Structure 1
Amino acid sequence: MSLFSDPQAVARYAEGPVRQVPGFHALQQMALLLLAESVPDEGRVLVLGAGGGLELKAFAQARPGWRFLGIDPSAEMLKLALATLGSLAQRVELHEGFIDTAAQDLCDGATCLLTLHFIEAQERLRTLVELRRRLKPGAPLVVAHHSFPQEATAKRRWLERYAAFGVASGTPESNAKSAIEAIASRLPLLSPQEDEALLKEAGFDGVELFYAGFTFKGWVAYSPV
């Protein structure tokens, strides 16, 4: 996570997801549409892992009546979010810290994109519980992150596919190979089955897979009514 405190790395952050995440802009659009099924025109959306401001900007531009609570532990990433948002920042409250230090005001929906794969399983479960506690009954949560089989042979196969996508999208091959070694050794990865189980254990209902892009998976789930 020290990467997100490095000003130079933060400045280059916006270049990464488009090259690394299959269908990144479509993923944002799908998350928006899933939120919009339930979030009212004047609703409030919690964005966990808001640093950089990419989804905050996409959501705010598409839904001018929505307000947002953006949470991120990195001051540098939140500075980038402010710069990314520009005048849209007037509808966004940014909180530097973790989910459990944010106010427990209930929101109409929430997202956590490309974030949970940095968090160990038990802490991930606690994070999901804290998210649920901040959602109104029936409110949607949209999550997406690295989630793929963890058996050794399958893990290597999917990581190599992730690297191949990066190279095809313009990432230097040496960088792509370094990235998959770092992902394999440093990230507390889970299988899709384990991720779904955590969402249910955290108390969410109606868990559905909506996105699959090589090593990335995305689910929508709902706070119990």
Structure 2
Amino acid sequence: MSQASKSFSGKFDNSRASEYARQSRIALAGYDACHDLSACMLAASLGTDRAATILVVGAGGTAQEIIAMAALEPQWRFVAVDPSEPMLDAAVQHLQAHDLLDRTQVHLGHVEDLPRDVLFDAATLIGVLHHLNGDQPKRDILRTIQTRLKPGAPLIVAGNHYAYASQPLLLQAWAQRWRQQGASADEVQAKLGKILQGADPPHSEAAVQALMNEAGFRAATRFFSSLFWGAWLTCNAS
């Protein structure tokens, strides 16, 4: 396991996994809408009412992308990968609640651990890139996903971009979002400190596109935005 992978999985321990479903929906206004639209974008790209197998990278926590895709396309099946055992356990609970474990293979680990001779019809990478420190680990995970996709297969990439401190108005609006949800002044300050120190998002939308291009993906279409967060659909250029 690389140092970047160890750092990523170490962030998501039992305490974080237990609060993830609630916290993520506050931190990202439109959390469910983003996942719903991700499913719609993949269905629009792949075509509807057909069988497909989707690679879901960083599936731990809510498994919301799988839940949304499965509801829209009953013939789709999923391979869920996450390096954090507590987060993957939380995802399994949500999948069980939606009767989706029979349509989902769950793997504790990384994309590179999967069989190399299996190529997927599409993939998602939601809420992952900004947790990887530096550009090279971001390129590496995108490139690894690219090698596991069929030619022309779509990929959803979603996560924070911008250096947080470079966008003071967005940062303050993000703080107000927490206050809106009942956080005290001290709690808001703690959240601000955590976001400023705890992640390394790409510094612009152009930087996100550059990372995708360098990993072998085509120009992306942006379909969702919420403060620092963006979501794009791109396709394997091979």
> What's the TM-score once normalised by structure 1's chain length?
0.91
Letter in 1 for 2:57: L
2:16 is aligned to: 9
2:4 is aligned to: none
- SS of the residue corresponding to residue 167 of structure 2 reads helix
Residue 151 (structure 1) shift: 8.2
- SS of the residue corresponding to residue 157 of structure 2 reads strand
Regions of 4+ moved over 6 Å: none
1:44 is aligned to: 53
> What's the TM-score once normalised by structure 2's chain length?
0.86
Structure 2 distance, partners of 1:64, 1:50, is 19
Residue 102 (structure 1) shift: 2.2
Structure 2 distance, partners of 1:165, 1:202, is 34
Count of matched residue positions in the alignment of Structure 1 and Structure 2: 222
Structure 1 distance, partners of 2:198, 2:114, is 27
Unaligned stretches of 5+ in structure 2?
1-7
Structure 2 distance, partners of 1:54, 1:183, is 22
What are the equivalent positions in structure 2 for 1:68-217 lying under 5 Å apart? 68-86=78-96, 87-104=99-116, 105-120=118-133, 121-148=135-162, 150=163, 152=165, 154-191=166-203, 192-217=205-230
Decide which of 71, 76, 95 is 1:66's aligned counterpart: 76
Residue 189 (structure 1) shift: 2.2
Residue 38 (structure 1) shift: 2.9
- SS of the residue corresponding to residue 143 of structure 1 reads strand
Letter in 2 for 1:5: D
Residue 22 (structure 1) shift: 1.8
Structure 2 distance, partners of 1:173, 1:107, is 46
Residue 169 (structure 1) shift: 3.4
CA contact (8 A) 1:3 1:10 kept: no
How well do the aligned residues superpose, as a CA RMSD in angstroms?
Answer: 1.8
* Percent of residue pairs bearing the same amino acid type: 28
1:133-190, CA deviations, whole angstroms, 9 ceiling, x for partnerless residues?
1111111111111102x385x3333222222222223444433322222221231222
CA contact (8 A) 2:164 2:196 kept: no
What are the equivalent positions in structure 2 for 1:12-23 lying under 5 Å apart? 12-23=19-30
